[in-house]
């Protein structure tokens, strides 16, 4: 017997993502999903951002990794609520899904939170396919990764709202062609806004902070 279903395989994830979004909206929280390759500097950018804006906003963070709580430990130092998700218990999954985020927010007191950072697992493939209930998706791309990452991982770049090009302090030491990198980004997603910055020297941070504050204000 043949049974017609025509069901979206990721419908379950999508349903939970929409529920998460509703919870975030009701609590007036701007939620940002950070994606990148391992080592691009997601956690460093979050550390510097929290340092700079701690007086103005109440932050919280959800940290996704396959194993260890190293990243959560780095953020806890700034006295913000942090939940670490390790996907070891989910079979070492390479991405966060909406249900993992749901479980994480159950252990957070959301009422004082204004901006929630979700740091996805370091990987430019799978995280792009799973909505979490976030307002915006952000890609962190470091200059050491080369010009061709947007062309190699186009789906992640097409699904994102902002790309933070990190480690600009290394530019004098690298052979990377920054113009070519920007062209490659425009090719896969002409609408993707990009900000060049360095989490080490803080160069370019004001543009990222302006974007963040503007997003928060337009949401609330």
Partner 1 sequence: MHEMAVAENIIKVIEEKLKESGPKGEVKKIDLKIGKLTCVEPEALKLSFVAASQGTPLEKASLLIRSVPVTGKCKDCKKNFCLEKLDFSCPFCGSFRIEIKTGKELFIESFEVE
As a whole number of angstroms, the distance between CA 26 and CA 6 comes to 32
Measured in residues, the chain has a length of: 220
Q: Is 128 in the site for partner 1 (CB under 8 A)?
A: yes
As a whole number of angstroms, the distance between CA 194 and CA 55 comes to 26
As a whole number of angstroms, the distance between CA 68 and CA 87 comes to 10
Least Å distance between CB 53 and partner 1? 33
Least Å distance between CB 5 and partner 1? 5
* Whether 97 contacts 11, CB under 8 Å: no
Neighbours of 90 (CB within 10 A): 15
Task: List binders of partner 1 among 132-171 (CB under 8 A).
Answer: 151, 154-155, 158
Task: List binders of partner 1 among 25-64 (CB under 8 A).
Answer: none
Interface residue with partner 1, options 130, 205, 208, 216 (CB under 8 A): 130
**Of 27-35, 37-45, 141-149, 180-188, which part binds partner 1 (CB under 8 A)?**
180-188
Q: Which residues bind partner 1 (CB under 8 A)?
A: 1-13, 91-95, 97, 125-126, 128-130, 151, 154-155, 158, 186-190
């Amino acid at each position: 017997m043949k049974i017609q279903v025509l069901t979206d395989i990721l419908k379950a994830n999508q349903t939970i993502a929409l529920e998460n979004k509703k919870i975030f909206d009701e609590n007036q929280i701007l939620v940002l999903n950070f994606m990148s390759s391992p080592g691009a500097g997601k956690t460093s950018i979050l550390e510097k951002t929290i340092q700079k804006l701690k007086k103005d906003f109440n932050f919280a963070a959800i940290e996704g990794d396959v194993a260890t709580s190293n990243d959560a430990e780095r953020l806890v130092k700034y006295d913000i609520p942090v939940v670490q998700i390790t996907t070891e218990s989910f079979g070492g999954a390479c991405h966060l899904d909406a249900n993992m985020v749901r479980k994480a927010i159950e252990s957070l007191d959301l009422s004082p939170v204004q901006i929630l950072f979700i740091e996805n697992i370091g990987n430019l493939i799978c995280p792009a396919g799973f909505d979490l209930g976030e307002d915006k998706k952000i890609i962190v791309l470091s200059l050491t990764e080369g010009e061709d990452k947007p062309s190699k991982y186009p789906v992640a770049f097409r699904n994102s709202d902002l790309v933070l090009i990190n480690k600009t302090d290394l530019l004098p030491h690298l052979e990377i062609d920054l113009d070519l990198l920007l062209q490659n980004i425009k090719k896969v997603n002409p609408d993707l806004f990009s900000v060049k910055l360095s989490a080490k020297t803080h160069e370019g941070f004001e543009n990222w902070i302006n974007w963040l504050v503007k997003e928060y204000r337009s949401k609330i």
